[in-house]
Amino acid sequence: MSSDLNGGLQIVWVYPDLLSTYGDRGNMLILAHRARARGIPAQTIEVRSDQRLPDQGDIYLLGGGEDGPQALAAQRLLTDGGLARAAANRAVIFAVCAGYQLLGSTFFAKGDKCPGLDMIDISSDRGPSRAVGELAGDVDPTLGLPPLTGFENHGGRTHLGPGVKPLVRVTTGVGNDGVTEGAWSETILGTYAHGPALARNPALADLLLCWATGEQSLGPLDDTWPDRLRAERLTAVGR
Amino acid sequence: MSDEKKLPLRTAFAVSVSKTAAALSRATGRGDGSVIGGRLGMMIDPDLLAHLAAGREIALVSGTNGKTTTTRFTAAALGVLGDVATNSFGANMPTGHTSALARAGATRYAVLEVDEHYLAQVIQATEPRVVALLNLSRDQLDRAKEVAMMADLWRQALAAHPKVHIVANADDPMVVYAAGAHPADEVTWFSAGQRWQDDSHVCPACGGHIQRGEAGGWACANGDLRRPSPQWTLLDGEVVAPDGVPHEVKLQLPGTVNLGNAATALAVAAKFGVNPIDAIPRLGSVASVAGRYAQVERDGRLVRLLLAKNPASWLEAFEMADVAPTLLAINARDPDGLDTSWLYDVDFSPLRGRQVLVSGDRAMDLAVRLEINGVPFTHVKTFADAVAAVPQGRLEVIANYTAFQDIRAELDRVL
């Protein structure tokens, strides 16, 4: 949430060289597409892990990753400090899967407990089995969104502290622990709905855009295809 | 081990049952018999694959993409020397290998396509002379091993067999890592290019950055891994052999990708003593591979089938396809992987300007992807609708695994 969007909305994809395992580019493309369709100029910036992370972006995206790259990304982000400064500027952060875990206090990678960025009140460890499959549930009503639909693939379990609210009450899949899925606090939002989660959840994309622009609502778009996709996936899990 | 003398009898019986089951499977139209025969045979003789492999000179071909085609080319090239057993239906797990060897009877040579997860097991069972390692990239990650883990598994598998000769792709850091612990004189490097690099930005040896330079060069920033100098290369549409002699290779299969597969096959065959000049005409006679690249005429449309099952192979398919009306068909059934998120790893913009049709179980995922990608499209429910929607002439069909099989069935199991 930057002051005035001079030069348009800046969407920063954090470390695509490390955190891009499941079509994570999709979230960046979808946000830019939906902003531009409303006449909001949007610039996408891909920042590799050997580059400095700008702290003046409007939206930061963190994707999924294998254990090694996840631990490396957390290390680099801690050293860089840019993401924490961006959060202090009330930038929007949308983090998926491994990216979601590393925003918390600790996470597990390759059997080791690793320090996270400690930017939201969560911690993650290993679950008894890998959670793979369709993920669905009802979103926190204060966010005013329709049900979440996504696909998850992770071995972690995430515990929420009092400083965050669960994003979703799970009806299909595992998410954090089989009961809740994802977490949010102010303008930071994390989910296990991996990869291009926003493809199936255009209203969530618009929420992030509202947070970033300070708008209360955005003009309607022709969502024929995303709506048909949502309907198909929610029907597939019996909703 | 129990009584050794029992084994040949048991093996003979297992082979007989295996062949009968395969023949029944084909005769009843239930399948091509390449899996069921092997499965039954291995229930009777668990070491059946090893027994059938014994005495043969074997090449294995593994990797994420191109293995069926490269296996076909390699079998064609080794045909210069004599009869070759091969699993030409793409049944690339041990049951398929067993079936293929049982069906072929006694041959001096065998070329087997091996699913990358089974490479260690199949090396152990067949004691191959040569193993070709093509590439490793993301493929059905919701169930497959992650890419770096697969490279590690390969490396361990090969470490146990230092006498096996490896023919490996110098352009793929994951493959170079997998082959990197092998004795240098037992590795032949080829360069067939790497269109898809998004799974090899991080060095599998040390976690450092892989930096890419001019003319396909690459190296880890920490210096642990770098591109080896390849002996077999492609130059201006020709295959250049280790002696520096360029060979014109006229293929029926489209694209530079297939020229790379041909170069790999020639490199493998050369280790068996085959001269490229003798093998090249045989490669040119391959018209389709398990239905892939097959061309079929339907209502005045010349339909060509291209299989694309992961991001790397989609990029390759766009390179192979003509600029013509194109049907994209996507499913997400078990053999395809249940997750469609890879659609966002593929840039579909090369299709702009072509008439694009979308179909398959997961056409809606594709529709959303193409809308974001700025590629106009039309949704069609069936293959027949797609044929009716395009003008006379070429129709390129790019489909993932089960969508491909569905369309092949509609075309009456072409080739």
Strands A112-115 and A106-109: antiparallel
Q: Which residues of B touch A24 (CB under 8 A)?
A: 344
- A125-166 confidence digits (pLDDT tens): 999 999 999 999 999 999 999 999 999 999 999 999 999 999
Gap from B101 CA to chain A (nearest CA, Å): 36
How confident is the model at residue B10, as a pLDDT?
A: 77
B311, containing H or E segment: helix B311-320
How confident is the model at residue B319, as a pLDDT?
A: 87
Is A114 among the catalytic positions? no
| Nearest residue of B to residue A226, measured between CA atoms | B368
CB B99 within 8 A of CB B78: no
How many Cβ pairs closer than 8 A exist between chain A and B?
Answer: 84
Identified catalytic residue from A114, A154, A194, A210: A194
Please state the ipTM of this predicted complex: 0.95
Gap from A153 CA to chain B (nearest CA, Å): 6
Residue B121 scores a pLDDT above 70:
yes
Interatomic CA distance for residues B30 and B24, integer angstroms: 8
Domain positions in chain A are 9-236
Determine the residue among B368, B378, B381 to mutate to test chain A binding: the one whose Cβ has the most chain A Cβ atoms within 10 Å.
B368
For residue B203, the SS3 value is: coil
A225 → closest Cβ in B142, B143, B364: B364
CB B202 within 8 A of CB B209: yes
Averaged over B300-304, what is the pLDDT?
94
Give contacts of A 144-173 with B, CB under 8 A.
151, 153
CB B211 within 8 A of CB B221: yes
- B363-398 confidence digits (pLDDT tens): 999 999 999 999 999 999 999 999 999 999 999 999
Residue B1 scores a pLDDT above 50:
no
A23 → closest Cβ in B142, B146, B342: B342
Q: What percent of chain A has pLDDT over 90?
A: 89
- B222-250 confidence digits (pLDDT tens): 888 999 999 999 998 899 999 999 999 99
Q: Scanning the structure block, which residue is given the tokens 């082979």?
A: B15
Is A194 among the catalytic positions? yes
- Residue B206 contacts A where some CB pair is shorter than 8 Å: no
How confident is the model at residue B292, as a pLDDT?
A: 85
B141 → closest Cβ in A21, A49, A228: A21
What is the set of domains in chain B, with CATH numbers? 6-284 (3.40.1190.10), 295-410 (3.90.190.20)
Sequence-distant (6+) residues with CB within 8 A of A3 are none
More confident residue, B290 or B289: B289
Q: How far is CA B3 from CA A105, B8, B9, B61, B123, in A?
A: 60, 11, 11, 34, 25
CB B253 within 8 A of CB B282: no
Q: Which residues of A touch B174 (CB under 8 A)?
A: none
A49 and B372 within 8 Å at the Cβ level: the answer is no
| H-assigned helices in chain A | 25-37, 67-80, 82-88, 98-101, 197-200, 202-213, 224-236
Select the CATH number that applies to the domain covering A9-236 from these four: 3.40.50.2020, 3.50.50.60, 2.170.190.11, 3.40.50.880. 3.40.50.880
- Residue A196 contacts B where some CB pair is shorter than 8 Å: yes
Averaged over A207-222, what is the pLDDT?
96
